[in-house]
């Protein structure tokens, strides 16, 4: 009989998909993890021109085209004053592949990976796939990750911890002080900090800080992507940034698993990163307006919800049976326990959906709240 690998046995299909399947066709979908905006025209044109000229026909260098890696390096300088050698970047198939490379290249069998709970569903799954041991840790009341919680969870078996700001599913943004602490912890305990920054540009209050800026060793690596910033989830283009020795290790996985990121997507990403950034600002402004609408609506309905300062999610505390009631009334939300055991009693709402639909959904959620209380 053919056997299945144990490390895949522990991976279950995301709870999010189950909710979509249960929803009717006319449901208002607040379950989506992707912006409801078009990819900027200049990014699309970058791919179209590359395809028509034949430049996108062949494999690129394994790490990605030199021009794209230059554009990523320039982005870090522009945004954070960070000097990144383009040789220390791998263009990947979305942030997902970048996370996969980071874990595959750094986790030995059984070693622990600490990550936020509730947290992005891939952290647990990719840790299993890398044959590591997931170690989810709880959040503060405001749904940020306390560096002290991470530090307390570190043992001799810890390979890495994951920080995600702005965060999915909570919309929480870590402070600069927290990011400095995460860098210190990575340095002092000699564990890897994987900073998942795919929502880095969707911040409403203050700004995003990367622990990469504060680390004194090469124990911080950064994962990011075009997916959320440029509404390019379908293009599958992300990257990982780290020291040269870490990049070379991750390249061993990427080279044989992927060869290179899709060439047309690389040209689109280069155009997105080097072209006008107004579409990003417009999208973020719209998300902020909707965030306020959602906060007001949920608070008026009597729900407690920490103020999300980034991404496009809100995570209210909800009474028992609330998610089912809301779904029955035609609004899709994701039960918080799809993001880890500590997510029980919460729901994730995405406001990457039209304002009118959001208003309707908020009314329905208020009715559902009255019904289950």
What are the residues binding ligand PLP (CB under 6 A)?
Answer: 33, 94-96, 120, 164, 168, 196, 198, 225, 227, 233, 238
The β-bridge partners of 346 are: 317
| Cα angle value 271/60/70 (rounded, 5°) | 45
Q: Pick the closer one to ligand PLP by CB: 170 or 219.
A: 170
**Torsions phi, psi for 264 (to 5 deg):** -55, -40
**Torsions phi, psi for 314 (to 5 deg):** -130, 150
Q: Smallest distance from the beta carbon of 328 to ligand PLP, in angstroms?
A: 26
Q: Smallest distance from the beta carbon of 152 to ligand PLP, in angstroms?
A: 23
Q: Pick the closer one to ligand PLP by CB: 172 or 326.
A: 172
Q: Pick the closer one to ligand PLP by CB: 46 or 169.
A: 169
Q: Smallest distance from the beta carbon of 224 to ligand PLP, in angstroms?
A: 8
CA 152/CA 181 separation, integer angstroms: 13
Q: Pick the closer one to ligand PLP by CB: 196 or 325.
A: 196
CA 227/CA 203 separation, integer angstroms: 15
Q: Smallest distance from the beta carbon of 122 to ligand PLP, in angstroms?
A: 6
Q: Pick the closer one to ligand PLP by CB: 105 or 352.
A: 352
Q: Pick the closer one to ligand PLP by CB: 227 or 266.
A: 227
Nearest to 369 by CA among 308, 320, 313: 320
Q: Pick the closer one to ligand PLP by CB: 125 or 361.
A: 125
Q: Smallest distance from the beta carbon of 141 to ligand PLP, in angstroms?
A: 21
Q: Pick the closer one to ligand PLP by CB: 127 or 168.
A: 168
Q: Smallest distance from the beta carbon of 184 to ligand PLP, in angstroms?
A: 23
Sequence-separated (6 or more) residues with CB below 8 Å from residue 87: 63, 69, 244, 247
Six-digit token pair at 260?
């290179």
Q: Smallest distance from the beta carbon of 228 to ligand PLP, in angstroms?
A: 7
Nearest to 173 by CA among 153, 136, 213, 200: 200
CB 101 within 8 Å of CB 240? yes
Helix, strand, coil share of the chain (percent; to 5): 45, 15, 40
Q: Smallest distance from the beta carbon of 44 to ligand PLP, in angstroms?
A: 17
CB 173 within 8 Å of CB 150? no
Q: Smallest distance from the beta carbon of 192 to ligand PLP, in angstroms?
A: 16
Sequence-separated (6 or more) residues with CB below 8 Å from residue 269: 43, 46, 68, 71, 91, 226, 230, 232, 235, 237
CA 133/CA 157 separation, integer angstroms: 9
Q: Match 């992707």 to its residue by tokens.
A: 34
Q: How far is CA 246 from CA 166, 279, 306, in A?
A: 24, 33, 36
Q: Pick the closer one to ligand PLP by CB: 232 or 327.
A: 232
Name the residue whose CB lies closest to ligand PLP.
Answer: 94
């Amino acid at each position: 009989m053919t056997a299945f690998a144990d490390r895949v046995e522990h991976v279950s299909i995301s709870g999010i998909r189950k909710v979509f399947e249960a929803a009717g066709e006319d449901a208002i979908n607040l379950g989506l993890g992707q912006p409801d905006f078009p990819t900027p025209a200049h990014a699309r044109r970058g791919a179209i021109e590359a395809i028509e000229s034949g430049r996108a026909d062949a494999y690129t260098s394994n790490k990605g085209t030199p021009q794209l890696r230059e554009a990523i390096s320039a982005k870090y300088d522009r945004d954070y004053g960070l000097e990144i050698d383009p040789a220390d970047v791998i263009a990947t198939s979305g942030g997902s592949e970048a996370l996969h490379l980071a874990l595959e290249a750094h986790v030995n069998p059984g070693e622990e990976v600490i990550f936020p709970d509730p947290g992005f569903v891939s952290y647990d799954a990719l840790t299993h796939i890398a044959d590591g041991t997931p170690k989810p840790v709880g959040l503060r009341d405001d749904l940020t990750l306390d560096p002290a919680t991470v530090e307390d969870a570190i043992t001799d078996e810890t390979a890495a911890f994951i920080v995600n700001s702005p965060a999915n599913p909570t919309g929480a943004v870590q402070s600069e002080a927290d990011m400095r602490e995460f860098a210190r912890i990575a340095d002092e305990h000699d564990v890897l900090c994987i900073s998942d920054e795919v929502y880095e540009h969707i911040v409403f209050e203050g700004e995003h800080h990367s622990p990469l800026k504060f680390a004194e060793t090469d124990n911080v690596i950064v994962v990011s992507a075009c997916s959320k910033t440029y509404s390019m989830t379908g293009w599958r283009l992300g990257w990982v940034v780290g020291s040269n020795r870490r990049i070379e290790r991750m390249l061993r996985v990427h080279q044989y698993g992927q060869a290179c990121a899709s060439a047309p997507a690389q040209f689109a990403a280069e155009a997105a990163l080097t072209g006008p950034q107004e579409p990003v600002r417009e999208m973020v402004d719209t998300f902020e307006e909707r965030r306020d609408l959602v906060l007001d609506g949920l608070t008026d309905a009597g729900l407690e919800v920490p103020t999300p300062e980034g991404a496009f999610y809100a995570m209210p505390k909800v009474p028992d049976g609330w998610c089912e009631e809301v779904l029955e009334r035609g609004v899709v939300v994701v039960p918080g326990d799809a993001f880890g055991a500590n997510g029980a009693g919460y729901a994730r709402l995405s406001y990457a959906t039209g304002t009118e639909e959001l208003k309707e959904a908020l009314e329905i959620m208020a009715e559902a709240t009255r019904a289950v209380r």
